[in-house]
Chain A
Amino acid sequence: MRAILNAVKTGLTEIWAHKTRSVLSFLAIAAGSVVFIDAFSAIVDTYARLERQKEVSGIARMRISQNYSQTYSSPDDYVPPPAISYEDVEKLKEKVPGLYMVSPEGRDWRNVLEYGGERLTTSLTGVTPDWTKRDFIYTLKGRFLDWHDLENKLRVCVLIKEAPPPPGFDKTMKKKYNFTGGYDTLVTHNDMVGKTVKIDGYTFTVIGVLEEIPYSKRTRSFVNSYQDYKILAPVTTLIHYSFIGSYQSLDVNIDAGAEKDFEDYMKKVSNFLKIRFGDEEFFVVENQLEDIREKIASSVRSGLVTISLGMLAFLAGGIGIMNVTLATVFARTKEIGVRRAVGASRSDIMLQFIVEAVMLGLIGGVLGSALGYLWGVPIKVMVGMDASPIKAWMPMVSVLIAASTAFVFAIYPAWVAAGLKPADALRAE
């Protein structure tokens, strides 16, 4: 123990006496640590997002929408394709029971909202209570639509208050396309619950306001079906008052519930569509689970690539430390002789050089971890990248790897130093 302490003391003075050399030799190690931390956090983030996906957005997701890529050999062949109506959705629920969520969605664009003497542009989306089952990133004031509203085609609506855009979001783009700025101001500055508004001339009662949770409080999931919701109303109401035309097909978001039943449900849903609308591919059933799996795989893959880069950096750092330690051994041969003459044993000498190298590795590892943290959190946020979480164990593992790399690469030079005969070492200049 005391021997190690002495070696540490000598090592510190040596490292300090050769600052430039020391800094150069642990730079590569530091770089390795930075890369490692980045890779660790990316991989951990992937799994965190997967958890989040499972919890909030669901993983066994599919989406039915019209197939826009149908081709017709001549314009005369064109017949309007069938559309999914609310009755089709009801039928689907009946024929394919057990689905966790079947959420139809129909949209109207550029509606005029009148309130308190103001006329504002907005958009309406027709949904059912199932809409809240997934991607519910809101806090609710008042109440949401219920089945009673649906059945009675009531003119009630829920307003959505958007969260400020995430850091790094291109604000100029937002301004350019933001034709509902007035609407956003309205919901921000007024307590709308219980108020009556006019949409395209029809009166609607606002029964609730959904406030989006800020981006900083959300973990990103894999499939962010980013839809710009403004006003939600019962889909049946919107159909009844012709906000949604009879030719207009509803999109249907489905969650099968569990991953293991997913393929089975995929088949059942496709079958249902075939039976109801015929063999032609009027609709696509988007397999979102496949997307999620692909995204996880690719993000793990890129994490592994980064890790191997980190390994290379550590290897380079290790070789650097070996080189420096060897140079030190030759530069300090005389000193080795002196130490041997006054009683240092072979293992004392070996220990001294190994401890010195490991300290270089430790310094490099600590420095690299600090840089890795800086890079991983504030810098990434500053340049508008997604910051991935850095856990306490990540720098610890990096420092450990840095120190062990230095240890391994110091063994040979230290062994050379310890093998010198005292008389020969003393004769060196």
Chain B
Amino acid sequence: MSIACADLTKVYEGGQSGWPALRGVSFTIEMGEFAVVTGPSGCGKSTLLNIIGLLDEPTSGKYSLNGRNVFSMSDSERSDARRDEIGFVFQSFHLLNRMTALDNVCLPMMYAGVDSREMRDRAADLLHKVGLKGKERKTPLELSGGERQRVSIARALANSPKLILADEPTGNLDSVSSGEIVDTLFKLNGEGITVVMVTHDRELSKRVARNIRMRDGRLEQ
């Protein structure tokens, strides 16, 4: 999984005009890397991650995901790429509260058309793997913050993606839970999954080889 960005800019419609969130960002991330994105609040980290994850489109620039030019992809191709190649972990979890943990993990597989038995078995395995055995039937509202984030990691892994994008995954968690989540992400990286993680944690950036520092919509360095 390689990510190659060149001169990405993003101007939000309805935002402060002439104050772009991204102002020419270029970098590449190679397969298997663990990249940490840091920078002050409002510098454009989430914007960048959304573009990388095909949740949003840049205003200009080039972006190729695994050699494919993202601009030439149709909506359904992008949707398929999100479904099969990318897993998201968000600061505020973004789980569906009316569904059980198990059904939340099933969701990406449902859109992939996985057979329903197989889907439930795999979802149960994944919940087991992130340490939530026995909590399959609980809804997110019945789980702690750390547990919710583990459900969302299980969901991110559902379709065996090659890339995990995590936007401040520990932002809403205490230090113990944070440590567990970060450890899990390192473990997944150890299994060959590329991880791009936005964080405010200075310590964490010291643990990884790849640091992307941002300020005012640009990369530092």
Give the residues from 93 to 148 in chain A that come closer than 8 angstroms, CB to CB, to chain B.
Answer: none
Which residues of A are found within 8 Å of B56, using beta-carbon distances?
Answer: 421-424
Contact present for B80 and A341 (CB under 8 Å):
no
B32-40, B108-116, B120-128 - the one binding chain A: B108-116
Q: How many residue-residue contacts, CB under 8 A, span A and B?
A: 67
Bitwise, B90-109 to A at CB < 8 A (1) or not (0) is 10001110100000000110
Among the listed B75, B98, B155, which residue makes an inter-chain contact with A342, where contact means beta carbons less than 8 Å apart? Answer: B155
Is the CB of A201 closer than 8 A to any CB of chain B?
Answer: no
B81-89, B169-177, B184-192, B198-206 - the one binding chain A: B81-89
Is the CB of B17 closer than 8 A to any CB of chain A?
Answer: no
Bitwise, A1-39 to B at CB < 8 A (1) or not (0) is 011001000000100010000000000000000000000
Is the CB of A188 closer than 8 A to any CB of chain B?
Answer: no
Among the listed B82, B88, B94, B98, which residue makes an inter-chain contact with A17, where contact means beta carbons less than 8 Å apart? Answer: B98
Bitwise, A389-429 to B at CB < 8 A (1) or not (0) is 00000000000000000000000000000000111101000
Contact present for A338 and B80 (CB under 8 Å):
no
A283-291, A299-307, A344-352 - the one binding chain B: A344-352
Number of interface residues of A (CB under 8 A): 24
Which residues of B are found within 8 Å of A345, using beta-carbon distances?
Answer: 75-76, 79-80, 111
Which residues of A are found within 8 Å of B159, using beta-carbon distances?
Answer: 343
Q: In the complex the two chains form, what is the Cα distance from A335 to B76 in whole Å?
A: 18
Q: In the complex the two chains form, what is the Cα distance from A340 to B111 in whole Å?
A: 10
Which residues of A are found within 8 Å of B95, using beta-carbon distances?
Answer: 338
Contact present for A426 and B113 (CB under 8 Å):
no
Q: How far is the CB of A1 from chain B (nearest CB, A)?
A: 10
Is the CB of A339 closer than 8 A to any CB of chain B?
Answer: yes
Interface centre among B50, B75, B82, B110 (most CB of A within 10 A): B110
Is the CB of A318 closer than 8 A to any CB of chain B?
Answer: no
Q: How far is the CB of B105 from chain A (nearest CB, A)?
A: 10
Contact present for A342 and B107 (CB under 8 Å):
yes
Contact present for A340 and B55 (CB under 8 Å):
yes
Is the CB of A52 closer than 8 A to any CB of chain B?
Answer: no
Knowing A2-B113, A6-B110, A422-B56, the reply to whether A343 touches B98 (Cβ < 8 A) is no
Q: In the complex the two chains form, what is the Cα distance from A335 to B107 in whole Å?
A: 12
Q: Which residue of A lies closest to B88 (CB)?
A: A341
Bitwise, A187-220 to B at CB < 8 A (1) or not (0) is 0000000000000000000000000000000000
Q: Which residue of A lies closest to B98 (CB)?
A: A17
Knowing A340-B55, A422-B56, the reply to whether A346 touches B75 (Cβ < 8 A) is yes
Q: In the complex the two chains form, what is the Cα distance from A335 to B159 in whole Å?
A: 19
Contact present for A338 and B96 (CB under 8 Å):
yes
Contact present for A346 and B98 (CB under 8 Å):
no
Knowing A17-B98, A334-B94, A337-B94, the reply to whether A342 touches B55 (Cβ < 8 A) is no
Which residues of B are found within 8 Å of A340, using beta-carbon distances?
Answer: 55, 79, 82
Among the listed B90, B94, B96, B108, which residue makes an inter-chain contact with A343, where contact means beta carbons less than 8 Å apart? Answer: B108
Among the listed B55, B75, B98, B110, which residue makes an inter-chain contact with A341, where contact means beta carbons less than 8 Å apart? Answer: B55
Which residues of A are found within 8 Å of B80, using beta-carbon distances?
Answer: 343, 345
Contact present for B94 and A423 (CB under 8 Å):
no
Q: In the complex the two chains form, what is the Cα distance from A17 to B98 in whole Å?
A: 9
Q: Which residue of A lies closest to B76 (CB)?
A: A345
Q: How far is the CB of A37 from chain B (nearest CB, A)?
A: 36
Q: Which residue of B lies closest to A2 (CB)?
A: B113
Q: Which residue of B lies closest to A13 (CB)?
A: B98
Q: How far is the CB of B172 from chain A (nearest CB, A)?
A: 15
Q: Which residue of A lies closest to B79 (CB)?
A: A345
Which residues of A are found within 8 Å of B83, using beta-carbon distances?
Answer: 342-344
Q: Which residue of A lies closest to B114 (CB)?
A: A2
Contact present for A341 and B113 (CB under 8 Å):
no
Q: In the complex the two chains form, what is the Cα distance from A342 to B153 in whole Å?
A: 12
Among the listed A334, A339, A346, A426, which residue makes an inter-chain contact with B107, where contact means beta carbons less than 8 Å apart? Answer: A339
Knowing A334-B94, A422-B56, the reply to whether A342 touches B50 (Cβ < 8 A) is no
Which residues of B are found within 8 Å of A334, using beta-carbon distances?
Answer: 94
Contact present for A338 and B94 (CB under 8 Å):
yes
Among the listed B50, B53, B79, which residue makes an inter-chain contact with A346, where contact means beta carbons less than 8 Å apart? Answer: B79
- 22 A/B residue pairs, CB under 8 Å, sorted by A: A335-B96, A337-B94, A339-B107, A340-B55, A340-B82, A342-B108, A343-B80, A343-B82, A343-B84, A343-B159, A344-B83, A345-B75, A345-B76, A345-B79, A346-B76, A347-B76, A348-B79, A421-B56, A421-B57, A422-B56, A423-B56, A426-B90
Q: Which residues of A contact B (CB under 8 A)?
A: 2-3, 6, 13, 17, 334-335, 337-348, 421-424, 426
Q: Which residues of B contact A (CB under 8 A)?
A: 50, 53-57, 75-76, 79-80, 82-84, 88, 90, 94-96, 98, 107-108, 110-113, 155, 158-159
16 additional contacts, CB 8 Å, given A2-B113, A344-B79? A3-B113, A335-B96, A338-B107, A341-B53, A342-B82, A342-B83, A343-B83, A343-B159, A344-B111, A345-B111, A346-B79, A421-B57, A422-B55, A423-B50, A423-B55, A426-B94
Q: Which 7 residue pairs are nearest across A and B when measured between Cβ atoms?
A: A343-B83, A345-B79, A423-B56, A342-B108, A423-B55, A422-B55, A343-B111
